[in-house]
Structure 1
Amino acid sequence: MTQRFDNVAQEWDSGDTRQNIASAVFKTLTSRIALLNTMKILDFGAGTGLLSFKIAPMVRSVTGVDLSSGMLEQLESKNTSSLQVATILQDIMDKPLEQKFNGIVSSMAMHHVADTAGLFETFYAHLERDGFIAIADLEEEDGTFHAQHGNDGVHHFGFNTERLRNTIEKAGFRNVRFHDAYSVNREDGNYPIFLVTAVK
């Protein structure tokens, strides 16, 4: 899976779909959560930084973590003297970070992680008290969304929101809320994307 993302990193931002998803997730996130200039934010599965760079001007710092060096190289190429996103190439479930954050965001990365329960436990451990999560991904689907890639590295065909709510609450989070963020409309169907928010 990591190799595939490395291979497509340079073209990742081309086309409208990923740009539109990031914009919609950012809009939904900021309508539900007040981002403050004191906040340290972690972007999980940050990729090329489509979401990171929308958030960065509003907060103290954004750190993008990913398993693809190619993706993070593309992210780093967008850094300027006035706007920067830090990067970490690391599996934080296997090797947790030492620092904690005021918020963790993620867009369309969770379905690539097999152990969803372990992921939210990892998120919880990386948050300061009263820190938030804002995680966007697909609602449950039949596997068609990633079929053109043979579902390479896809561990979940979207998510059942009630089961996911239970998983998040079991990890210790409170105030779990689901919000409609976007819908990808293609010839093979419509694919709703949710944003789930919660607080430690």
Structure 2
Amino acid sequence: MDPILFPTRQSTITLQDITVDNWQHIVHLVVNKDQLTLVPPNVESLCEHQFFLPHSIVKAIYADSTPVGYLRVQQAQEACAPATVSATTISTDQISTLSGTYQMKCFMIDKACQGLGFGTKALIQLQGQLLALSTTPASLEDKAVTNSLTTTTIRVLTAPFATVHSDDSPEHFFASVGFIKDATGKEMVWASRP
């Protein structure tokens, strides 16, 4: 039997698709007891992604070949200017496009792997991937809509953080990778221009 290699600070962090081969590993990852109110149960979050949320992006966080966490973001939709879409083919209540704004729905690192920098590296990769996604048109027809996106934004609701002692608040973590509180104090926001 091969020895089990536990991830270390030097492990390479990657974001990978959650598939039939790794989903069971992901649903068995757990956070510390004091963090349980900050993230939904993994299986609930994955089911919500699969069945209820279009434009949801979910990725497993791997340290080398070991799944150590996962993240899920929801891409927001916004109304298009009617001039950008032919009104003869689509009714005005159907006119919408994906924005460059994403709501963080879940972000977790297994309790055995916290404090090793994996979350920071994963979030930096997510920022880069979403920025690239927002600036790369899927087709020539999408080019005008995609090029109109000037900012990629990730939003994190801060209300759940109120249940955690301020020293243990995720606000410190998100601030370390460029998130700042918005004017209302209800969200932390990261924004980058392509």
Asked if these proteins are the same fold (TM beyond 0.5), I'd say: no
Looking at CA atoms only, which structure, 1 or 2, has the larger radius of gyration?
2
TM-score, normalised by the number of residues in structure 1: 0.32
TM-score, normalised by the number of residues in structure 2: 0.32
